[in-house]
């Protein structure tokens, strides 16, 4: 393949339209070229242009000047000389962020620096590339996972601030597609409360604003608390005398709501069957059951034993 190389540009024989560019570049000083190249390198992309004999194109260091639908306009420049480039993103197979995450053409903005791979559109008089791959070096987002403690919650914006162990305070945005788990149970945004421990939150992290758009949030629950066990306390209230019903029971310093299902066993101190109607407030009760993962103030009772009933 015949090539002309000048100031970081490699041109194939199919690129006669760029001969003027080579001449223009040769007139610029090395200092001017270094300054512009340095700007591109600051966001990770050197200035570079390749067009092979087969029409395949690789361009790095394009500065975006505008976006209209799937068409991205931009320039590569050396000193006062610039070359306009039109990028057709209609057939692009992937748009990548600086750190490798997947993006979209719609996320590209004027002022961004991008790299493009594709093919030369030889039907156009101006330099036009039918892109198959675009990398936007200015989109700072990356896939990330964090853990920590919720320091505040903004219900109006469906977001919370995570005091993370990895990157300090991160604003986490929760969307309609975010999966929220509490332990191994499905949960909702309402389950994310100040002081809650987040064992893992993953999503797309904007490294500039330190903001994470969450794909999944897992709220920590001590799984031992979910095991079935005996709760002993004082009966405070009876929701109704026919199951299903609820009881309010004070256990130590904690007040529990106890769900009594139709198949919950009700017994006296001597293990004889009894009813909710026979129980009275102030009685001592023992409950065998487990707390709910999404509401640790609620017990699902398998057995309720009123030890005050002889």
Q: Which CATH class is domain 4-136?
A: mainly beta
pLDDT digits (tens, 9 = 90+) for 73-125: 999 987 788 899 999 998 888 998 887 778 889 989 999 999 999 999 999 99
Fold of 141-221: OB fold (Dihydrolipoamide Acetyltransferase, E2P) (2.40.50)
Q: Which CATH class is domain 224-306?
A: mainly beta
133-142, 233-242, 271-280: least confidently modelled range: 133-142
Same topology between domain 141-221 and domain 224-306: yes
The domains of the chain are located at 4-136, 141-221, 224-306
What pTM was computed for the model? 0.52
Sign of CA dihedral 202, 207, 210, 213: negative
Query: Which is it for strands 254-268 and 295-306: parallel, antiparallel or unpaired?
Result: parallel
pLDDT digits (tens, 9 = 90+) for 25-81: 333 334 444 444 444 445 555 788 999 999 999 999 999 999 999 999 999 987 788
Residue found by looking up tokens 């421990």 in the block: 197
pLDDT digits (tens, 9 = 90+) for 207-260: 878 999 999 999 998 877 778 999 999 999 999 999 999 999 999 999 999 999
Q: HEC states along 220-280?
A: CCCHHHHCCEEEEEEEEEECCCCCCEEEEEEECCEEEEEEEEEEEEEEECCCCECCHHHCC
Closest CA to 85 of 129, 134, 141, 123: 129
């Amino acid at each position: 393949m015949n090539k002309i190389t000048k100031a970081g540009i490699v041109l194939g024989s199919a690129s006669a339209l760029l001969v003027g560019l080579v001449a223009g570049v040769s007139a610029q000083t090395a200092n001017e070229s270094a300054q512009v190249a340095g700007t591109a390198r600051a966001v990770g992309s050197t200035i570079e242009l390749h067009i092979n004999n087969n029409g395949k194109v690789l361009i790095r260091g394009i500065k975006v000047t505008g976006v209209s639908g799937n068409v991205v306009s931009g320039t590569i420049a050396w000193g006062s000389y610039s070359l306009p480039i039109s990028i057709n993103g209609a057939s692009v197979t992937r748009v990548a962020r600086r750190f490798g995450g997947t993006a979209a053409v719609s996320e590209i903005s004027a002022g961004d620096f991008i790299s493009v791979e594709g093919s030369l559109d030889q039907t156009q008089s101006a330099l036009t590339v039918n892109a198959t791959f675009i990398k936007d070096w200015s989109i700072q987002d990356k896939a990330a996972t964090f853990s920590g403690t919720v320091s505040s919650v903004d219900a109006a914006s469906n977001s919370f601030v995570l005091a993370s162990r990895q990157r300090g305070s991160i604003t986490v945005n929760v969307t309609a597609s975010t999966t929220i788990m509490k332990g191994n149970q499905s949960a909702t945004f309402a389950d994310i409360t100040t002081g809650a421990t987040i064992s893992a939150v993953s999503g797309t992290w904007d490294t500039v604003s330190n903001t994470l758009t969450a794909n999944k949030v897992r709220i920590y629950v001590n799984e031992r608390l979910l095991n079935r066990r005996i709760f002993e306390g004082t009966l405070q209230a009876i929701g109704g005398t026919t199951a299903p019903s609820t009881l309010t029971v004070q256990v130590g310093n904690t007040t529990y709501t106890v769900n009594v299902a139709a198949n919950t066993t009700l017994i006296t101190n001597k293990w004889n069957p009894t009813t909710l109607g026979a129980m009275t407030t102030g009685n001592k009760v023992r409950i065998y059951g487990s707390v709910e993962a999404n509401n640790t103030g609620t017990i699902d009772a398998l057995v309720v034993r009123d030890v005050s009933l002889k």
